[in-house]
Amino acid sequence: MSSLSPKCLNEPGEWQYFLSHVQYESKDIALDTFHSMEKLGRSCWLDVRMDERDEAAMKEGIKNSNIIIVIMSPAYFTRPFCVKELEWAVEYEIPIQVIIDVQLKGEIGNIIGRCPADKAYLKGIGNINFTEVSRANPTFWKASIDSILKAKPKVLTNAGTVKEPNVTNAIIKPRKRITVERAANKYRIERIFNENEIDKDDIKILENESLGTGGFGEVFKAKRAGRICAAKVISTGGLNEMQQRDMFKKFQKEFALMCSTNTCQRVIRVFGVVLQIPGKLVLVMEYAENGSLRKYLNRQAAIDKRLEPSLLQSIIYDIAYGMKELCKKGVHHRDLKADNVLLDHDMIAKVSDFVSSIV
């Protein structure tokens, strides 16, 4: 049987199958089902990294699938997320198909008996014919896949009864797959935005005090709750719809990356975003009083003054420490230069600007 771990999800869209399972009990069956269906041109949603999944992502997966394949195992009803997946299947009236390892067929009653008392209607899954599968050898597994394809899924109701699906399930054309990290991040970023949005009336952007410009916007001095901060303003007014979407994705990406590095001591911190100003996206972040390292070096050169060795050593240390912190977070900056190193009031150097960064 296959030992490959896809570590992937289908791109948000539609799938023929959603595989619901307990990872530590049914991972091998789930992976073999995934790969077998893939070879047959059937699209599947499978998350093999249970600790990284996001509730909104999984709910969307259930909603946009034609059939939910429940891989029943002893701990299935003890896992909160498995129970949620069944509840969503009932809510959206998605047909359910149940498969079980042939070695566990005598345990079906006991397994269903572990269903939470307050979700008793889910015991109705026992009214759906269980398809027995075996991974004993390739021949048995091929027969198992044939049985899965021939099985007739049923819709489980909130009364605990089952009924026929409203429509015949069509085969969905396979879709492009993306990594778990990218798929999950789509939903994490949206949540991060909701949790960190700053009301436009809570910040005053001092547009006459520009701190610097770049290809991705202009940074201004700003005030929020009586404290000085920096506001990176990106204008979207002159962009068409496609360009605005692209710009917003880049903005989301930079903000999410900065949020993930907020505990780093030598990296500029981010405080939130302002989304209510027409034609503008605003990133609110830590203010570095002495500006960029580039500007500081230019000011020193203008007065023919070299940096003190101790300060130079300190700045080099700060930059190296900041990059080390980013590496520990799995962030690759990819654009380290004097313009992207900022100096605070105490001349502590901090890495900034994550437009080109990746994780």
Per the prediction, the chain carries an average pLDDT of 84
The mean pLDDT of 37-54, rounded to a whole number, is 68
- Please check the confidence at residue 191 and state whether its pLDDT lies above 90: no
Q: Amino acid letter at 321?
A: Y
206 compared with 7, residue with greater pLDDT = 206
Cα dihedral sign, 212-218-222-227: negative
- As a CATH number, domain 197-351 is 1.10.510.10
pLDDT band at 4 (very low <50, low <70, confident <90, very high): very low
- Please check the confidence at residue 304 and state whether its pLDDT lies above 90: no
pLDDT band at 76 (very low <50, low <70, confident <90, very high): very high
- DSSP letters along 110-149, please? HHHTTS-GGGGGGGGGGGSPEEEE--SSHHHHHHHHHHHH
Residues 260-300 have pLDDT tens digits of 888 888 999 999 999 888 889 999 999 999 999 999 999 98
- Please check the confidence at residue 103 and state whether its pLDDT lies above 50: yes
Residues 111-122 have pLDDT tens digits of 999 999 999 999
Domain segments of the chain as ranges: 8-179, 197-351
> Alpha-carbon dihedral of residues 78, 60, 65, 3, nearest 10 degrees?
-60
Lowest pLDDT segment from 126-130, 223-227, 261-265: 261-265
Residues carrying an active site annotation:
335
Distance CA 212, CA 209 (A): 9
Phi, psi of 13 (to 5 degrees): 175, -125
Q: Fold match between 8-179 and 197-351?
A: no
- Whether this prediction's pTM lies above 0.85 is answered by no
pLDDT given at position 51: 41
Distance CA 284, CA 20 (A): 40
pLDDT given at position 39: 85
pLDDT given at position 185: 54
- Please check the confidence at residue 89 and state whether its pLDDT lies above 90: yes
pLDDT band at 187 (very low <50, low <70, confident <90, very high): low
Distance CA 131, CA 154 (A): 13
Q: How far is CA 292 from CA 205, 212, 344, in A?
A: 19, 9, 9
pLDDT given at position 214: 64
Percent of the chain with pLDDT over 90: 50
pLDDT given at position 24: 85
Which residues, listed in sequence order, are joined to residue 65 by a DSSP beta bridge? 15
CATH class of 8-179: alpha beta
- DSSP letters along 163-216, please? E--SSPPPPPPP--EEEHHHHHHHHHHHHHHHHHB--GGGEEEEEEEEEEEETT
- Please check the confidence at residue 309 and state whether its pLDDT lies above 50: yes
Pairing between β-strand 217-224 and β-strand 203-214 as defined by DSSP bridges: antiparallel
**Three-class secondary structure of residue 290 per DSSP:** coil
Percent of the chain with pLDDT over 70: 85
